[in-house]
Structure 1
Amino acid sequence: MTVYLDRFSFTSPVDEDNFLSNDDRLKATCYSTVYPFMLFTHRELEELQFEPVTFLYGGNGSGKTTILNVIAERLKIQRGTYFNKSNFFDDYVNCCEQRTKNWSFSIQKDSRIITSDDVFDYMLDVRCVNEKVDSRREDMFEEYIDTKYSTFQMKSLEDYEKLKKNNSIKRSTFSKYVKGNLMRNIREQSNGESAFWFFTENIKENALYLLDEPENSLSAGMQLKLVKFIEDSARFFNCQFIIATHSPFLLSIKESKIYDLDRTPIAVKKWTELENVRNYFEFFKAHEEEF
């Protein structure tokens, strides 16, 4: 199994103090926040070391998404949707350092960060396509009815294509005609199936992928399919994953490393030790007899 990003170093308390005390903007202007400065230093996060599959676990505001965005910007890997930067975000990124292995332009080019916004935008695109399919289907219904019960005589070679279309309609049922002339109706896939398809289409071999809560829009069954896909991609196709998640299904991936961002200092934990997973366990344990 492959590791491209071996470790990532964040700003130390000393580096942060030096930057913030010497930055001219802070002397001249009143800023309400210096985010992402000061977010991790009090929790003693200075470095993360990565495995082929590494998880960032924590509650809202723990910094999971910020870590992914900082890494993505530092490595200059591609992203689909824009994210809101603070005034000091780029300065913070420049203070960080990374250690990579087997890193090349092709790996950088193919690597990417995939966020919930990317998946939601894709599903909105699917909905838009479906609406256009529905509109075209209605047009084709009228076209089918008008042609099916009309007479047509070819008068010149210019009418040849119209003749072919006329004969095609007369030989077909309405449903067969529509299916043969419209693109596949993507609505046949649920939102969860579309979301899962998005991951399988956008994750290729030989690259680093940062996934921000990929379980969103996925049912339990689809999450298990995603687990298998991630495991196979890491084991057989030289992919490395850094994943921010709450999902017990994803966190259960074998041989992965899990950072618990709810702890100070931030610590490596087993998935069965995480509070969110324990809550699930205790809930089902309390209802065990009902199963």
Structure 2
Amino acid sequence: MSLQKVSLLREKIKSFNEYPFNVPTIKSLNEIQLKKNVTFFVGENGSGKSTLLESIADNCGFNLNGGGQNNIYASNTEEITLSDYLRLSWLPKVNNGFFLRAESFYNFATYLDKLDQEEGTGDVYGPYGGVSLHKQSHGESFLSLFNNRFNDKKRALYLLDEPEAALSPARQLSLLKIIYDLSTKSNAQFIIATHSPILLGYPGATILSFDGEQIEETSYEMTEHYQITKYFLKNRKGMLNELFRED
């Protein structure tokens, strides 16, 4: 791995009573050691996983609407106040990579269209399948990005925030193959915040749960995502009857 450790500079924080420092997992955070080329952040909405991932991306110089260090365009995201309080430990330091933020992917696609209009060469779309991402379906544009932009042979860090948002189950499996090829053949490192039990099934990955008072490593079978999905598939009628039962 290139990114070895993420540390919270607790001595710089004046108060743990304000967001995002009052989020339990952030409040208790000292450091996270990244042991594998693929790490998953899992947890309920508001548990701090996306906040931490975005702050890592900010420290890497990646555009918070989506992109790498060379994708410079206005961001309409809120200021990530956690960024100034993190220290990233590298071995070696890498500048190559990409931050995918599913909810702002539209803004990244629009940025590429504007860049293509300014340059007028058509070369802008080369790393994205040769066509505007807006002219592809949401899922197709995601896979086009993964298949074309995520193919550099250099060391790279890919930070993905809920990449399953636009992907069918079959295409989530395609993403798993892309992650496998890049992490095993080109020394790419992935940190992925996800709710997908399919993506979480990636073999040998580290899964960090944000659902408790502290960030803790867990196994695939112990994640709520796996357990609820498994129970639902085995007991669909009973679970729905209980869910819709009138008190």
**Tell me, what secondary structure is at the counterpart of 1:254?**
coil
Residue-by-residue CA offset, 1:137-192 (whole Å, 9 max, x unaligned): xxxxxxxxxxxxxxxxxxxxxxxxxxxxxxxxxxxxxxxxxxxxxx9798995432
CA distance change for structure 1 residues 263 and 232 in 2, over 3 Å: closer, same or farther? same
The aligned residue for residue 41 of structure 2 is 56
CA distance change for structure 1 residues 8 and 125 in 2, over 3 Å: closer, same or farther? closer
The answer to whether the 8 A contact 1:11-1:41 is kept is: no
The aligned residue for residue 199 of structure 1 is 146
Within 5 Å, give how 1:43-82 maps onto structure 2. Answer: 44-50=28-34, 51-81=36-66, 82=75
**Tell me, what secondary structure is at the counterpart of 1:38?**
coil
Larger radius of gyration, structure 1 or 2? Answer: 1
The aligned residue for residue 245 of structure 1 is 194
Which TM-score applies when normalising by structure 2?
0.74
Does 1:34 find its partner at 2:32?
A: no
Identity %: 30
The answer to whether the 8 A contact 2:42-2:195 is kept is: yes
Which one of 207, 211, 215 corresponds to residue 262 of structure 1?
211
Looking at secondary structure, tell me which structure has more helix per residue: 1
**Tell me, what secondary structure is at the counterpart of 1:114?**
strand
Which one of 102, 105, 119 corresponds to residue 105 of structure 2?
119
Q: How many corresponding residue pairs?
A: 210
Question: Any gaps of 5 or more consecutive residues in structure 2?
Answer: 67-74, 115-129, 238-247
Opposite residue 269 of structure 1, the aligned amino acid is T
The aligned residue for residue 221 of structure 2 is 272
The answer to whether the 8 A contact 2:41-2:208 is kept is: yes
The answer to which structure, 1 or 2, has the higher relative contact order (CA under 8 A, 6+ apart) is 1
Which TM-score applies when normalising by structure 1?
0.63
CA distance change for structure 1 residues 184 and 238 in 2, over 3 Å: closer, same or farther? closer
Q: CA RMSD in A?
A: 3.1
Partners of 1:79 and 1:9 lie apart in 2 by: 20
CA distance change for structure 1 residues 15 and 227 in 2, over 3 Å: closer, same or farther? same
Question: Any gaps of 5 or more consecutive residues in structure 1?
Answer: 22-32, 129-182
Within 5 Å, give how 1:132-211 maps onto structure 2. Answer: 190-203=137-150, 204-205=152-153, 206-211=155-160
